[in-house]
């Protein structure tokens, strides 16, 4: 009983954080306190104050406005990645898990091979090939995450496959495609939804890491990652420049993770029945 209250609590916090993020993004589409890329050499390095709520950077650019734009950029990249990976990964995972046989073996070997490369390095190499823009980052991240998603969906498909109602579907005369769409997919959906929320978090983190390394979305577009990297030389004098973007990433991830956990707890006990 008390445990349920705790669950509630986590979910609410997660919802609040994510809601706040979304609201900021929405707002940022229409209005930011200053132009995020406007340089103001007269007021560099202002600490957080009434004029600049989160301070200004070495070029006098308003940190809050840049953070808001950065949120939108990170969010759109993460969303694109999640959509692409979930769509492809679910399809591949269902086929591998349900059809088994050679389809499964080939897919798993390819997944293992791609998974052998650490995600960041693979994404780096892919970005070197595709160039440093939003869509190529989405593609690079998608390729890096596709094998994990495929594996998770495959596991779900494997266990669903063992259930009697799948065999009942065969007895009723259904084709394999029908069985997958009507019985396997809906029952795999909870696992996929939970995965999607985790994936969103990882995508935001990866995109920030890539930006931090200098291979993300190119300047002058502000992303939290490159804001952090720009702040490094000025860590001592202007510590807010290092703290703000990091906090943004952290709060986003926290919110997404909490939501994902709440989702998983909500879906699990009922599914257990």
Partner 1 sequence: MIAYIFRRLLLTIPTLLLVSVIVFGLIRLIPGDPAEVMMGPDADPASIASLHHQMGLDEPLPVQFIAWAGRTLHGDLGVSIATGEPVVRLIVTRFQLTAAIVLVSVLLATLIAVSLGMIAAWRRNSSLDLAVVGGATIVLAVPSFWLGLVLLLVFGLKLGWLPVVGYVPFSDGVGAALLFLILPIITLTITESGVLTRMMRASAIDVLNQEYVTHARAKGLPERAVLARHVFPNAFAPTLTLVGLSLGHLLGGIAVIETVFTLPGLGRLMVDSVLARDYPVVQGCLLFTAVIYVAVNLAVDMLYPIFDPRVTAQ
Partner 2 sequence: MTRTPLLDIANLCVETASRDGAPGRVLLQDFSLDILPGEFVSVVGESGSGKTMAARAILDLLPPGTRRAGGSIRLSGRELTTLSARQMRQVRGGEVGMVFQEPMVSLNPALTIGRQLEEGLALHRDYNRAERRDRIIEMLRRVRISEPAKRLAAYPHEFSGGMRQRIMLASVMLLKPKLLVADEPTTALDMLSQRDVMEAMTDLARDEGVAVLLITHDLRLVARYTQRMVVVEKGRLVEKGETAQVLRAPSDPYTRKLVDSLPQFQAGKADRGADRPPLLCVENASLCYEGRAGWLFGGAPKPVVHEVSLTVGVGETVALVGASGSGKTTLGRAVLGLKALSGGAIKFDGLDIARMNAADMRKFRRAAQLVFQDPFSSLDPRLKIGEVVGAPLRHEPISAFARRLRVETVLSEVGLPGFADQFAHQISGGQRQRVAIARAIVSWPRLVVADEPVSALDATIQRQVLSLLQKLQDQYGFACLFITHDLAVVGEIADRVAVMSEGCIVEAGETQTVFAAPQHSYTQALLAATPPLFS
Residues of this chain that interact with partner 2 (CB under 8 A) are 1-3, 105, 163-165, 167-174, 183, 186-187, 270-271, 273
Per-residue 3-state assignment (H helix, E strand, C coil) for the chain: CHHHHHHHHHHHHHHHHHHHHHHHHHHHHHCCCCCCCCCCCCCCCCCCCCCCCCCECCCCCEHHHHHHHHHHHHHHHHHHHHHHHHHHHHHHHHHHHHHCHHHHHHHHHHHHHHHCCCHHHHHHHHHHHHCCCHHHHHHHHHHHHHHHHHHHHHHHHHHHHCCHHHHHHHHCCCCHHHHHHHHHHHHHHHHHHHHHHHHHHHHHHHHHHHHHHCCCCCCCCCCHHHHHHHHHHHCCCCHHHHHHHHHHHHHHHHHHHHHHHHHHHHHHHHHHC
C-beta of 6: minimal distance to partner 2 in Å? 11
Alpha-carbon dihedral angle through residues 108, 109, 111, 114, given to the nearest 10 degrees: 170
| CB-nearer residue toward partner 2: 141 or 180 | 180
C-beta of 250: minimal distance to partner 1 in Å? 5
* CA 157/CA 195 separation, integer angstroms: 14
| CB-nearer residue toward partner 2: 185 or 217 | 185
Among 29, 38, 83, 129, binds partner 1 (CB under 8 A): 129
Contact 234, 241 (CB under 8 A): yes
Among 28, 97, 119, 216, binds partner 1 (CB under 8 A): 119
Judged by beta carbon distances under 5 to 8 A according to partner kind, the member of partner 1, partner 2, none in contact with residue 171 is partner 2
| CB-nearer residue toward partner 1: 75 or 212 | 212
Q: Tell me which stretch binds partner 1 (CB under 8 A): 25-33, 76-84, 109-117, 170-178.
A: 109-117
Q: Is 8 in the site for partner 1 (CB under 8 A)?
A: no
Q: In Å, how far are 21, 168, 201 from 162, measured between CA atoms?
A: 41, 11, 31
* CA 61/CA 52 separation, integer angstroms: 9
C-beta of 261: minimal distance to partner 2 in Å? 21
Judged by beta carbon distances under 5 to 8 A according to partner kind, the member of partner 2, partner 1, none in contact with residue 132 is none
C-beta of 132: minimal distance to partner 1 in Å? 10
Judged by beta carbon distances under 5 to 8 A according to partner kind, the member of partner 1, partner 2, none in contact with residue 159 is none
| CB-nearer residue toward partner 2: 84 or 267 | 267
C-beta of 39: minimal distance to partner 1 in Å? 24
Judged by beta carbon distances under 5 to 8 A according to partner kind, the member of partner 2, partner 1, none in contact with residue 118 is partner 1
Judged by beta carbon distances under 5 to 8 A according to partner kind, the member of partner 1, partner 2, none in contact with residue 170 is partner 2
Q: Please give the residue ranges that form the binding site for partner 1 (CB under 8 A).
A: 2-3, 6, 109-110, 112-122, 124-129, 201, 205, 208-209, 212-215, 228, 232, 235-236, 239, 242-243, 245-246, 249-251, 253-254, 257-258, 261
């Amino acid at each position: 009983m008390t445990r349920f209250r705790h669950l509630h609590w986590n979910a609410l916090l997660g919802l609040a954080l994510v809601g706040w993020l979304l609201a900021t993004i929405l707002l940022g589409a229409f209005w930011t306190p200053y132009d995020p890329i406007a340089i103001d050499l007269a007021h560099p390095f202002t600490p957080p104050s009434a004029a600049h709520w989160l301070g200004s950077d070495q070029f006098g650019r308003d940190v809050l406005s840049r953070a808001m734009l950065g949120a939108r950029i990170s969010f759109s990249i993460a969303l694109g990645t999640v959509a692409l990976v979930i769509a492809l990964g679910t399809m591949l995972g269902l086929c591998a898990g349900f059809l088994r046989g050679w389809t499964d073996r080939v897919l798993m070997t390819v997944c293992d091979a791609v998974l052998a490369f650490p995600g960041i390095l693979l994404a780096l190499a892919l970005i070197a090939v595709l160039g440093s823009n939003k869509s190529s980052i989405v593609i690079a991240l998608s390729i890096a995450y596709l094998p994990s998603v495929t594996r998770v969906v495959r596991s779900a498909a494997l266990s669903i496959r063992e259930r009697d109602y799948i065999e009942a579907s065969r007895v009723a005369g259904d084709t394999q495609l029908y069985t997958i769409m009507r019985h396997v997919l809906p029952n795999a959906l909870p696992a996929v939804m939970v995965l999607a929320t985790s994936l969103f978090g990882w995508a935001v983190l990866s995109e920030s890491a890539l930006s931090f390394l200098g291979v993300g979305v190119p300047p002058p577009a502000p992303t939290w990652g490159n804001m952090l990297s720009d702040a490094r030389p000025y860590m001592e004098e202007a510590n807010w420049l290092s703290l703000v973007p990091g906090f943004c990433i952290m709060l986003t991830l926290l919110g997404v993770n909490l939501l994902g956990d709440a989702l998983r707890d909500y879906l699990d006990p009922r599914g257990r029945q």
